[in-house]
Structures are given as C-alpha cells and as structure tokens.
Structure 1
C-alpha cells in the first residue's frame, strides 16, 4: 500500500490525479487544502485535512506517515513560503519523496518568441516559482519538479519530457497529461529522482499558445 498526500487538492490537475489514485486499490490518499468542505464529495474515498500550506504544523498533519507527497500548490507571494514549509515538514517527519508542480520558464528555458511571450505574460510569477524550485533543489528530498507548458483541458494524454537545461518549444500540454505523469511517478517512485522535468505536447510549437 502506497500512502500519498496531495497538497492543494482542489486544483484542477490535482483532482484529475486524485481520480487515478482513488481507482488504484494499492493507494491510500490524503487530501490537504483550504476549505476542505469543497471536497466533501470525496470523504469516503480519502482522508481530508483542512489547513494552510504556509504553516508547517498544518502540513505535518497531512504528511506524517506518507510515502509520497504530491504538491499542487499555487500563489504568487506565497509559493516560496509554501515550499519552505513543505521541505521543513518533510524533513522533520522523515518523508523523502516529493512531486512538486512548478511552471515553465523558471530557468529561462523557453525558446524563441514563445519564451519572450511567456516571460512577458507571467512576469513576477516566474520569479516566485523559481525561488520555490531552488528551495526544493537545495533540499535533500527525493524530488521531481514538474514544469508544464500552458495547460489545456483537452481529453488526451500526449506529452514529451525534457530535463533541466533543455529548451522548451511546445506551447501547450493537457492537464490530463500532467495528471498521468504524476500518477506514473507515484507508481514508479524511483523515476526522475532529483530531476526537473518539462512537459509539453509535441507538435504545438509557436510564438504563443494557439488560443491567445
């Protein structure tokens, strides 16, 4: 039995991942979020904990005894605080495996005009997420940082991976693809350890996502 804590459990990608976890009889799931009543529908399928991801004491309630922590957190101005609290809680409790959702552009790895557009559009968002990613990378955790391209709601699993230092040229990837990759990591916890992985749908190169 693999025990998985999902932090930021109300997020769109998180909820897609949760459906995969709920259908796996070998996974026991704990959901952590603000206003836990928003996931009351899942109370018979998971342990649900209400808390603030910037507070280590709150996070400990969800992380204690887990095998994997999947963090689907967000918030310009708070994401680095959340990263700090997650690292400290995991260190304190001796939990090593972390899957951390970040964003593209944190290493200035987005190529060409798409990169220029991405930087102009996201602005300080990239800076804050870069700080959080650096904090994760400087930890001794068995992390995988995930850097998706611009997300769609397409009903498809179609993605390619890139490692830190490799350019990202494709403009989109589906949320379902990200959820599938996260689930793959949970099933294979030794995969992509201490790696920062870009996710992009092949064949979607352009100056910006097609819907902009």
Structure 2
C-alpha cells in the first residue's frame, strides 16, 4: 500500500523540490495543499491531488487530512496558530506523523548569534508541535540555496548548530524530508538542525 502524504504550503520552494523528489524516488500519493492552487499548474500524474485551502481554515484542513499517513508542513505566517490547527486536524483524523519545517536559531543553538523577534513565530510553532504528543520531527535548516546537490548533516536539539556561515541546498532539505516520511520511526520526537556537509 502506497504512502499518502499531505504537503502543507505546497507552493513554497522547498515543498516544490520535495514534491518532485517524492514522485521520482517513491510511490507516494501526494495531496498538495496551498492557498493559491493556480501557482502549481496542472498535475501530470494521478499520484498528485491539488487542494486549494488555508491552514487557518480548520474544517478545510481537516477534510484534506482524511486518509493521510504523513503530514509535511512548510509554512510561514502565524506559525503558532497554524501549528495549533495542524495538531487539531491530526487529532480529529487520527493521523500521527508530522514533519514540520522551522528555522535554525530557535533554541539559540547557533554559536555567536542571537536572533530575537524575527524567530519568535518559528519558535512558537515548533513549541506547539513539540508539545502535541504526535510523532513529530522538526527540521531547522540553515539559510537556503538552490544548488543541485544533496550534501547535508544534522544536529540534534541541544547541540550547537554547525557551519553557521554556510547555506544548505533546498534539495538537501527535501531529501531529508522524503527520508523521514518514507522511513517508519525515523527521528520521531527529534528536532534536527540541517547544515551543509560534504557526504
């Protein structure tokens, strides 16, 4: 039985790369959820369903979440409220697995850097996911680039973030997302910093 993955914020740059990688490297069926469906154009495979909706619209989100196995959220905006809605919809539909993209620096784990209010939404959203009791993994990438490479390492919550002056490719972050989504039990309850590292 193939995996059903709900991608929230499917119009974003990492999400678009992840969608392509899911289709190339797995047999997953994808539900692409975003506010403006026309941004994606028409899907050219029966493995993709596009749903226009807002994560702040809890009934619409809950309807899209039915029969999903994994929720991958790549959002910006009022992240605390978005995360609360994700958790509520997952509880309503008995979906357990969520992969939530945040930002490096939310735990002051980047040596020599203290990102203040700019990271508050990311910090608050991650805190909701961590307190949810769901099978979560939080991803905290470094600044992003568009290199066509998969070259990354990870750190756990409580460890200093590595390579703070480097960027990491969106393709690397997407690769990690696909690995987490398709490998049962991988990094459940973890918050992973993602930095560039030659493999």
The TM-score normalised by the length of structure 1 is: 0.87
Structure 2 spans left out of the alignment, 5+ residues: none
- Count of aligned pairs: 194
Q: Are residues 1:126 and 2:119 paired?
A: yes
Q: How does 1:33-182 map to 2 (within 5 A)?
A: 33-42=34-43, 44-45=45-46, 46-75=48-77, 78-112=78-112, 115-116=113-114, 119=115, 123-171=116-164, 172-182=167-177
Pairwise CA distance, 1:61: 2.2
The structure-2 alpha-carbon separation of the partners of 1:169 and 1:24, relative to structure 1 and needing over 3 Å to count, comes to closer
CA contact (8 A) 2:153 2:195 kept: yes
Runs of 4+ aligned structure 1 residues displaced above 4 Å come to: none
Residues of 1 paired with 2:25 and 2:4: CA distance?
11
Pairwise CA distance, 1:64: 0.8
The TM-score normalised by the length of structure 2 is: 0.93
Q: Which residue of 1 aligns with 2:23?
A: 22
Structure 1 spans left out of the alignment, 5+ residues: 204-212
Structure with a larger share of its residues in helix = 1
1:107-160 deviation digits (Å, cap 9, x = unpaired): 111112xx24xx1xxx42311111110110000110000000111111111001
Pairwise CA distance, 1:43: 5.6
Pairwise CA distance, 1:62: 1.8
Residues of 2 paired with 1:41 and 1:9: CA distance?
13
RMSD of aligned C-alpha atoms?
Answer: 1.4
The structure-2 alpha-carbon separation of the partners of 1:80 and 1:152, relative to structure 1 and needing over 3 Å to count, comes to same
1:18 aligned counterpart, secondary structure? helix
**Equivalent of 1:194 in 185, 189, 195:** 189
